[in-house]
Amino acid sequence: MAWQTYVLVGGGILILILLLFYIFGGEEEEVAERLERYAAPRTPTDRAPSRPSGPRPSPLGAAVDRAIAGRGFAEDLRIQLARADLKLTPGEFLTLQILSAGFGLFVAQQIFGLLPLATLGLIFGFFAPRLYVAWRQRRRLQALNAQLGDAINLMVNGLRAGYSILQAMEAVARELPPPISTEFDRVVKEQQLGLSLDHALNNMLRRVHSDDLEMLVTAILIQREVGGNLAEILDTISFTIRERVRIKGEIRVLTAQQMISGYVLLILPIGLGLILFGINRDYMLNFFNSGIVGYFMIACTAVMMLIGYFVIQRIIRIEV
Protein backbone atom coordinates (compact mmCIF):
# COMPACT_ATOMS: atom_id res chain seq x y z
CA MET A 1 0.00 0.00 0.00
CA ALA A 2 2.05 2.87 -1.34
CA TRP A 3 0.02 5.77 0.02
CA GLN A 4 0.28 4.56 3.62
CA THR A 5 4.06 4.45 3.24
CA TYR A 6 4.03 8.00 1.90
CA VAL A 7 1.95 9.17 4.88
CA LEU A 8 4.31 7.50 7.36
CA VAL A 9 7.46 8.84 5.69
CA GLY A 10 5.98 12.33 5.35
CA GLY A 11 4.89 12.38 8.99
CA GLY A 12 8.34 11.21 10.11
CA ILE A 13 10.04 13.93 8.07
CA LEU A 14 7.72 16.59 9.50
CA ILE A 15 8.38 15.45 13.07
CA LEU A 16 12.14 15.49 12.38
CA ILE A 17 11.90 19.05 11.02
CA LEU A 18 10.00 20.16 14.12
CA LEU A 19 12.61 18.61 16.41
CA LEU A 20 15.43 20.28 14.49
CA PHE A 21 13.70 23.66 14.75
CA TYR A 22 13.29 23.18 18.51
CA ILE A 23 16.91 22.14 19.00
CA PHE A 24 18.59 24.72 16.76
CA GLY A 25 15.97 27.47 16.86
CA GLY A 26 17.34 30.91 17.70
CA GLU A 27 16.83 32.63 21.04
CA GLU A 28 17.23 36.26 19.97
CA GLU A 29 13.56 37.01 20.68
CA GLU A 30 13.35 35.23 24.02
CA VAL A 31 14.26 38.22 26.24
CA ALA A 32 12.05 40.55 24.20
CA GLU A 33 9.10 38.18 24.57
CA ARG A 34 9.52 37.98 28.34
CA LEU A 35 9.78 41.77 28.72
CA GLU A 36 6.79 42.30 26.47
CA ARG A 37 4.71 39.79 28.42
CA TYR A 38 5.47 41.35 31.80
CA ALA A 39 6.18 45.00 31.11
CA ALA A 40 3.84 45.91 28.25
CA PRO A 41 0.73 47.94 29.19
CA ARG A 42 -2.22 45.70 29.89
CA THR A 43 -5.92 46.09 30.43
CA PRO A 44 -8.02 43.81 32.62
CA THR A 45 -9.31 42.04 29.51
CA ASP A 46 -5.88 41.14 28.13
CA ARG A 47 -5.10 37.50 27.74
CA ALA A 48 -2.10 35.90 29.38
CA PRO A 49 -0.04 33.84 26.93
CA SER A 50 0.24 30.15 27.60
CA ARG A 51 3.98 30.00 26.91
CA PRO A 52 5.57 31.68 29.94
CA SER A 53 9.22 31.12 29.11
CA GLY A 54 11.61 29.03 27.10
CA PRO A 55 12.63 29.11 23.45
CA ARG A 56 10.47 30.84 20.90
CA PRO A 57 8.03 28.76 18.81
CA SER A 58 9.34 26.79 15.86
CA PRO A 59 9.02 28.52 12.44
CA LEU A 60 6.27 26.10 11.43
CA GLY A 61 4.35 26.72 14.65
CA ALA A 62 4.89 30.46 14.31
CA ALA A 63 3.54 30.36 10.75
CA VAL A 64 0.40 28.58 11.91
CA ASP A 65 0.08 31.06 14.78
CA ARG A 66 0.19 33.96 12.33
CA ALA A 67 -2.42 32.27 10.13
CA ILE A 68 -4.89 31.84 13.00
CA ALA A 69 -4.06 35.09 14.84
CA GLY A 70 -7.13 37.01 15.94
CA ARG A 71 -9.52 34.10 15.56
CA GLY A 72 -11.72 33.16 18.48
CA PHE A 73 -10.84 29.46 18.50
CA ALA A 74 -7.11 30.29 18.67
CA GLU A 75 -7.60 32.45 21.77
CA ASP A 76 -9.76 29.77 23.37
CA LEU A 77 -7.15 27.13 22.57
CA ARG A 78 -4.43 29.31 24.12
CA ILE A 79 -6.40 29.48 27.36
CA GLN A 80 -7.05 25.72 27.35
CA LEU A 81 -3.33 25.01 26.94
CA ALA A 82 -2.50 27.40 29.78
CA ARG A 83 -5.02 25.69 32.06
CA ALA A 84 -3.42 22.34 31.24
CA ASP A 85 0.04 23.82 31.93
CA LEU A 86 1.32 22.81 28.49
CA LYS A 87 4.12 24.96 27.08
CA LEU A 88 2.72 24.96 23.54
CA THR A 89 1.37 27.67 21.28
CA PRO A 90 -1.95 27.15 19.46
CA GLY A 91 -0.05 26.70 16.17
CA GLU A 92 2.16 23.99 17.61
CA PHE A 93 -0.84 22.22 19.11
CA LEU A 94 -2.76 22.27 15.82
CA THR A 95 0.31 20.87 14.06
CA LEU A 96 0.46 18.11 16.67
CA GLN A 97 -3.22 17.34 16.07
CA ILE A 98 -2.64 16.96 12.33
CA LEU A 99 0.32 14.64 12.90
CA SER A 100 -1.68 12.60 15.40
CA ALA A 101 -4.58 12.31 12.95
CA GLY A 102 -2.25 11.08 10.19
CA PHE A 103 -0.68 8.54 12.53
CA GLY A 104 -4.11 7.27 13.64
CA LEU A 105 -5.20 6.91 10.01
CA PHE A 106 -2.07 4.96 9.12
CA VAL A 107 -2.29 2.60 12.13
CA ALA A 108 -6.01 1.91 11.63
CA GLN A 109 -5.52 1.23 7.92
CA GLN A 110 -2.65 -1.18 8.61
CA ILE A 111 -4.61 -3.07 11.27
CA PHE A 112 -8.08 -3.24 9.71
CA GLY A 113 -7.53 -2.53 6.01
CA LEU A 114 -10.99 -0.91 5.76
CA LEU A 115 -11.65 2.72 4.89
CA PRO A 116 -14.50 3.23 7.43
CA LEU A 117 -12.37 1.95 10.32
CA ALA A 118 -9.38 3.89 9.01
CA THR A 119 -11.56 7.00 9.12
CA LEU A 120 -12.36 6.24 12.76
CA GLY A 121 -8.61 6.06 13.40
CA LEU A 122 -8.24 9.47 11.74
CA ILE A 123 -10.95 10.95 13.96
CA PHE A 124 -9.55 9.42 17.14
CA GLY A 125 -6.04 10.56 16.27
CA PHE A 126 -7.27 14.11 15.70
CA PHE A 127 -9.13 14.34 19.01
CA ALA A 128 -6.59 12.39 21.12
CA PRO A 129 -4.49 15.54 21.91
CA ARG A 130 -7.69 17.37 22.92
CA LEU A 131 -8.62 14.52 25.26
CA TYR A 132 -5.13 14.65 26.78
CA VAL A 133 -5.44 18.41 27.36
CA ALA A 134 -8.84 17.95 29.04
CA TRP A 135 -7.42 15.17 31.23
CA ARG A 136 -4.49 17.35 32.32
CA GLN A 137 -6.85 20.21 33.08
CA ARG A 138 -9.04 18.04 35.31
CA ARG A 139 -6.10 16.52 37.14
CA ARG A 140 -4.42 19.87 37.70
CA LEU A 141 -7.64 21.54 38.83
CA GLN A 142 -8.41 18.75 41.31
CA ALA A 143 -4.89 18.95 42.74
CA LEU A 144 -5.07 22.74 43.07
CA ASN A 145 -8.51 22.69 44.72
CA ALA A 146 -7.26 20.11 47.21
CA GLN A 147 -4.31 22.38 48.12
CA LEU A 148 -6.28 25.62 48.24
CA GLY A 149 -7.49 25.20 51.83
CA ASP A 150 -3.92 24.75 53.12
CA ALA A 151 -2.76 27.69 51.03
CA ILE A 152 -5.41 30.00 52.49
CA ASN A 153 -4.58 28.87 56.03
CA LEU A 154 -0.92 29.66 55.38
CA MET A 155 -1.90 33.09 54.05
CA VAL A 156 -4.11 33.72 57.10
CA ASN A 157 -1.28 32.83 59.49
CA GLY A 158 1.09 35.08 57.56
CA LEU A 159 -1.33 38.02 57.60
CA ARG A 160 -1.88 37.63 61.35
CA ALA A 161 1.90 37.57 61.83
CA GLY A 162 2.23 40.91 60.04
CA TYR A 163 2.91 39.87 56.44
CA SER A 164 1.57 41.84 53.52
CA ILE A 165 -0.68 40.02 51.05
CA LEU A 166 2.22 39.71 48.61
CA GLN A 167 4.51 38.25 51.29
CA ALA A 168 1.77 35.78 52.24
CA MET A 169 1.49 34.66 48.61
CA GLU A 170 5.26 34.33 48.45
CA ALA A 171 5.14 32.06 51.51
CA VAL A 172 2.57 29.87 49.72
CA ALA A 173 4.82 29.68 46.66
CA ARG A 174 7.77 28.73 48.84
CA GLU A 175 6.18 26.25 51.24
CA LEU A 176 3.58 24.32 49.24
CA PRO A 177 4.11 21.88 46.35
CA PRO A 178 2.92 22.43 42.74
CA PRO A 179 0.58 23.23 41.14
CA ILE A 180 -0.57 25.87 43.61
CA SER A 181 2.97 27.01 44.40
CA THR A 182 3.60 27.52 40.68
CA GLU A 183 0.53 29.73 40.27
CA PHE A 184 1.19 31.89 43.33
CA ASP A 185 4.86 32.21 42.41
CA ARG A 186 3.83 33.44 38.99
CA VAL A 187 1.53 36.05 40.58
CA VAL A 188 4.38 37.31 42.76
CA LYS A 189 6.81 37.50 39.84
CA GLU A 190 4.32 39.24 37.57
CA GLN A 191 3.77 41.96 40.17
CA GLN A 192 7.50 42.32 40.77
CA LEU A 193 7.95 42.86 37.03
CA GLY A 194 5.40 45.66 36.80
CA LEU A 195 1.87 44.26 36.74
CA SER A 196 -0.65 45.36 39.34
CA LEU A 197 -1.87 42.78 41.81
CA ASP A 198 -5.35 42.96 40.27
CA HIS A 199 -4.01 42.06 36.82
CA ALA A 200 -1.77 39.30 38.18
CA LEU A 201 -4.68 37.71 40.07
CA ASN A 202 -6.97 37.97 37.04
CA ASN A 203 -4.28 36.27 34.95
CA MET A 204 -4.18 33.44 37.47
CA LEU A 205 -7.97 33.06 37.22
CA ARG A 206 -7.70 32.74 33.45
CA ARG A 207 -5.10 29.99 33.86
CA VAL A 208 -7.07 28.17 36.60
CA HIS A 209 -10.82 27.91 36.10
CA SER A 210 -11.72 27.23 39.73
CA ASP A 211 -14.77 28.53 41.58
CA ASP A 212 -12.94 28.25 44.91
CA LEU A 213 -9.97 30.23 43.64
CA GLU A 214 -12.32 32.83 42.18
CA MET A 215 -13.85 33.22 45.65
CA LEU A 216 -10.40 33.84 47.11
CA VAL A 217 -9.40 36.36 44.43
CA THR A 218 -12.73 38.21 44.73
CA ALA A 219 -12.28 38.53 48.50
CA ILE A 220 -8.76 39.94 48.08
CA LEU A 221 -9.81 42.44 45.41
CA ILE A 222 -12.83 43.65 47.38
CA GLN A 223 -10.75 44.02 50.54
CA ARG A 224 -8.25 46.16 48.65
CA GLU A 225 -11.09 48.46 47.57
CA VAL A 226 -13.15 48.78 50.77
CA GLY A 227 -10.80 47.55 53.51
CA GLY A 228 -11.57 45.14 56.33
CA ASN A 229 -9.96 42.27 58.19
CA LEU A 230 -8.64 40.12 55.35
CA ALA A 231 -7.39 37.38 57.70
CA GLU A 232 -10.90 36.80 59.09
CA ILE A 233 -12.43 36.81 55.61
CA LEU A 234 -9.90 34.28 54.32
CA ASP A 235 -10.39 32.12 57.39
CA THR A 236 -14.12 31.88 56.63
CA ILE A 237 -13.41 31.12 52.97
CA SER A 238 -10.93 28.41 53.98
CA PHE A 239 -13.58 26.68 56.12
CA THR A 240 -16.09 26.84 53.24
CA ILE A 241 -13.60 25.40 50.76
CA ARG A 242 -12.57 22.59 53.10
CA GLU A 243 -16.19 21.58 53.64
CA ARG A 244 -16.86 21.66 49.91
CA VAL A 245 -13.82 19.46 49.22
CA ARG A 246 -14.97 17.02 51.91
CA ILE A 247 -18.52 16.81 50.52
CA LYS A 248 -17.24 16.38 46.96
CA GLY A 249 -15.05 13.51 48.13
CA GLU A 250 -18.03 11.78 49.74
CA ILE A 251 -20.12 12.25 46.59
CA ARG A 252 -17.29 10.87 44.47
CA VAL A 253 -17.16 7.74 46.62
CA LEU A 254 -20.93 7.23 46.51
CA THR A 255 -21.11 7.66 42.73
CA ALA A 256 -17.97 5.67 41.85
CA GLN A 257 -19.96 2.58 40.83
CA GLN A 258 -22.20 4.56 38.48
CA MET A 259 -19.20 6.33 36.97
CA ILE A 260 -17.47 3.02 36.24
CA SER A 261 -20.74 1.73 34.73
CA GLY A 262 -20.70 4.63 32.30
CA TYR A 263 -17.13 3.87 31.26
CA VAL A 264 -17.94 0.18 30.82
CA LEU A 265 -21.01 1.05 28.75
CA LEU A 266 -18.85 3.14 26.43
CA ILE A 267 -15.69 1.00 26.20
CA LEU A 268 -16.93 -2.60 26.44
CA PRO A 269 -18.81 -2.74 23.09
CA ILE A 270 -15.85 -1.19 21.28
CA GLY A 271 -13.35 -3.55 22.88
CA LEU A 272 -15.55 -6.57 22.26
CA GLY A 273 -15.99 -5.57 18.61
CA LEU A 274 -12.23 -5.27 18.14
CA ILE A 275 -11.68 -8.67 19.77
CA LEU A 276 -14.28 -10.30 17.51
CA PHE A 277 -12.72 -8.58 14.52
CA GLY A 278 -9.41 -10.19 15.37
CA ILE A 279 -10.94 -13.63 16.08
CA ASN A 280 -13.43 -13.84 13.20
CA ARG A 281 -12.72 -11.15 10.65
CA ASP A 282 -15.18 -12.45 8.04
CA TYR A 283 -18.05 -12.42 10.51
CA MET A 284 -17.47 -8.77 11.48
CA LEU A 285 -17.04 -7.75 7.85
CA ASN A 286 -20.72 -8.57 7.31
CA PHE A 287 -21.54 -5.21 8.89
CA PHE A 288 -19.56 -3.41 6.19
CA ASN A 289 -20.56 -5.70 3.31
CA SER A 290 -24.29 -5.35 3.98
CA GLY A 291 -24.47 -1.88 2.50
CA ILE A 292 -26.49 0.85 4.14
CA VAL A 293 -28.10 -1.54 6.65
CA GLY A 294 -24.79 -2.46 8.27
CA TYR A 295 -23.65 1.13 8.55
CA PHE A 296 -27.04 2.13 9.96
CA MET A 297 -26.74 -0.54 12.67
CA ILE A 298 -23.26 0.66 13.60
CA ALA A 299 -24.40 4.30 13.72
CA CYS A 300 -27.42 3.45 15.90
CA THR A 301 -25.21 1.47 18.27
CA ALA A 302 -22.74 4.34 18.60
CA VAL A 303 -25.53 6.88 19.21
CA MET A 304 -27.18 4.73 21.89
CA MET A 305 -23.83 4.14 23.61
CA LEU A 306 -23.13 7.88 23.74
CA ILE A 307 -26.64 8.68 24.97
CA GLY A 308 -26.33 6.12 27.77
CA TYR A 309 -22.89 7.43 28.78
CA PHE A 310 -23.94 11.08 28.90
CA VAL A 311 -27.17 10.30 30.76
CA ILE A 312 -25.22 8.46 33.45
CA GLN A 313 -22.71 11.31 33.69
CA ARG A 314 -25.53 13.82 34.00
CA ILE A 315 -27.18 11.84 36.80
CA ILE A 316 -24.03 11.51 38.91
CA ARG A 317 -22.91 15.13 38.37
CA ILE A 318 -23.97 16.80 41.62
CA GLU A 319 -23.12 20.45 42.15
CA VAL A 320 -21.89 21.44 45.60
User: 243 and 276: one domain?
Assistant: no
* Domain final position from 250, 275, 310: 250
Give me the domain span that covers residue 89. 2-105
* Domain final position from 201, 226, 250: 250
User: 63 and 39: one domain?
Assistant: yes
Residue pair 249/242 in contact by the 8 Å Cβ criterion: no
User: 221 and 269: one domain?
Assistant: no
pLDDT of residue 48: 41
- Residue 121 belongs to a domain: no
- Residue 83 belongs to a domain: yes
- Residue 114 belongs to a domain: no
* Domain final position from 86, 105, 124: 105
pLDDT averaged per 10 residues, the chain (length 320): 50 52 42 45 42 52 71 80 84 85 84 75 87 90 88 91 89 90 90 88 88 88 85 88 86 86 86 83 79 81 87 82
pLDDT of residue 99: 87
User: 235 and 160: one domain?
Assistant: yes
CA distance 111 to 53: 41
- Residue 120 belongs to a domain: no
User: 268 and 317: one domain?
Assistant: yes
pLDDT of residue 13: 52
User: 240 and 156: one domain?
Assistant: yes
162: left (phi over 0), alpha (psi -120 to 50) or beta: left
User: 235 and 272: one domain?
Assistant: no
User: 26 and 87: one domain?
Assistant: yes
Residue type, 50: S
User: 261 and 246: one domain?
Assistant: no
- Residue 235 belongs to a domain: yes
User: 232 and 191: one domain?
Assistant: yes
Residue pair 25/180 in contact by the 8 Å Cβ criterion: no
pLDDT of residue 51: 44
pLDDT of residue 53: 44
User: 145 and 238: one domain?
Assistant: yes
- Residue 99 belongs to a domain: yes
- Residue 18 belongs to a domain: yes
Q: How many folded domains does the chain comprise? A: 3
- Residue 113 belongs to a domain: no
- We report the CATH number of the domain holding residue 203 as 1.20.81.30
User: 12 and 98: one domain?
Assistant: yes
